[in-house]
Structures are given as structure tokens and as C-alpha cells.
Amino acid sequence: MTTSSSRTRLSPAARRAQLLDLGARLFATRSVEEISIDVLAEEAGVSRGLLYHYFGSKQDFREAVIRHAVEDLVTQTAPPAEGEPLERLLASLGVYVDYVLANLTLYRSLVRAAAGGSDELRALYEEGRAALTDRIFREDAQGQILTDNPQTRLMVRGWSAMTEELVLAWADDPTVMTREQLLEMLAMSLPALVDLA
């Protein structure tokens, strides 16, 4: 338990970042419904009032944590700078799978929010998917895998949805195939789908 005597005075930006990191850690293993403002405040070593000062409401906090998680996912899954396009895609997918596994509850919450949540949460989800889609085209600037046109972009969005679903299903039952088999299937399916466009 955190006591007021162990609280550290932080700048507003540092405190907000700390609260977002804490929220991501908590929501990675527990649903938002399981975590009260009191629990959040106690875990952070701050007053309830301070949480409300930074985020206004539990819903605002949830949205801020999800935005933070989406930004973190996009940043962490950036492919390595060197290598062949498919090797780089495979590396990026490996980080994505690891991220989903490490943040499974939070990631499921994001996906569920996109399907039936608020307009703000759907918009956050779409921003993340658009950033990942744009990055695929940007990283393949030489057109070795993809040609950037509306049909191919549609296929990449479909592939992204398929990838998301397969990773979540595999997380539920990783005995179906190895992690390496999953990654290879995902990486090889992108050029195969694009060839159909």
C-alpha cells in the first residue's frame, strides 16, 4: 500500500505519464470494470482528486490510457531499419504478438471498444489501424511487396483485421501452432492477399 509520505512530487507531464503507464499496466491484466478510481489512486500514490484533475472521469482516464497504448503499440512495432521487406515485416509482427500477449486484457478492451464502444474509442482504434497500415506502405516504399493503390490498401486493412483476430485466437489456444508458425503464416499471407487485388 502506498502512503502519502512516500509520494513523490512530479511535474504535471511526468505525473500524467506515470498515471498513463500505471493505467496501461493495470488494464493489461484487469478489465476497466474491475478497477475503481480508489484502486487507481492508491496504486499511483495520489489522491482521487488528482486523478480527476488530470482526466476528469474514469471514462476519460480509460480513453487516455487506450490512446497511450495505441501510440505505444505503433511505436514498439516499428520494424528494424535494415533487412528485406518480409524479414522486417516478420520482426514487426513478432513484436506485435509479444505486445498483445503482454497486454492481452487491455488489447481485448481496445478491440471490443472499437466494435461497440464510444465514438472516441472507435476513433482511437481507427487511428491506430490507419497508422499501422500507412507504415506498411511507407516501409515498402520501393514497392517490393505492395503497390500503393485503393485496392491494395483495402486488402491491407483486411489483412490487419485478420491478423488481429488470428493473434487473439492464438492467444486463447497457443497449442494450435507455434509462435514461429503463426508469424510465418501472417507474414506470408500479406503478399498472397495483395496478389489477389
| DSSP, residue by residue, 73-132 | HHHHTPPPSSS-HHHHHHHHHHHHHHHHHHTHHHHHHHHHHHHHS-HHHHHHHHHHHHHH
Above 60 in pLDDT, residue 10?
yes
pLDDT digits (tens, 9 = 90+) for 148-161: 889 999 999 999 99
pLDDT digits (tens, 9 = 90+) for 31-41: 767 778 888 88
Averaged pLDDT for residues 60-77:
88
With cut-offs at 50, 70 and 90, classify the pLDDT of residue 173. Answer: very high
Averaged pLDDT for residues 168-183:
97
Least confident of 134-138, 170-174, 183-187: 134-138
- Rounded to 5°, the CA angle 59-60-64 comes to 115
DSSP H or E stretch at residue 167:
helix 150-172
DSSP H or E stretch at residue 187:
helix 179-196
Highest mean pLDDT: which of 84-93, 107-116, 120-129, 178-187?
A: 178-187
**Rounded CA gap, 92 and 138, in Å?**
14
pLDDT of residue 142: 65
pLDDT digits (tens, 9 = 90+) for 15-56: 888 888 888 888 777 776 777 888 888 888 888 898 889 998
Written as nine digits, the cell of 163 is 491478423
Q: Which domains does the chain have, with CATH numbers?
A: 7-57 (1.10.10.60), 62-196 (1.10.357.10)
pTM of the model: 0.79
Q: Grid cell 520501393 — which residue?
A: 142
Above 90 in pLDDT, residue 105?
no
pLDDT digits (tens, 9 = 90+) for 135-148: 888 887 666 778 88
Amino acid occupying residue 72: D
Mean pLDDT of the chain: 85
With cut-offs at 50, 70 and 90, classify the pLDDT of residue 107. Answer: confident
pLDDT of residue 3: 47
| C-alpha distances out from residue 46 to 1, 25, 27, 195, Å | 12, 16, 18, 54
**Rounded CA gap, 95 and 133, in Å?**
16
- Give me the phi and psi of 10, to 5 degrees please: -120, 160
**Rounded CA gap, 119 and 136, in Å?**
26
Mark residue 87 as left, alpha or beta (left: phi above 0; alpha: psi -120 to 50; beta: remaining): alpha
**Rounded CA gap, 65 and 140, in Å?**
31
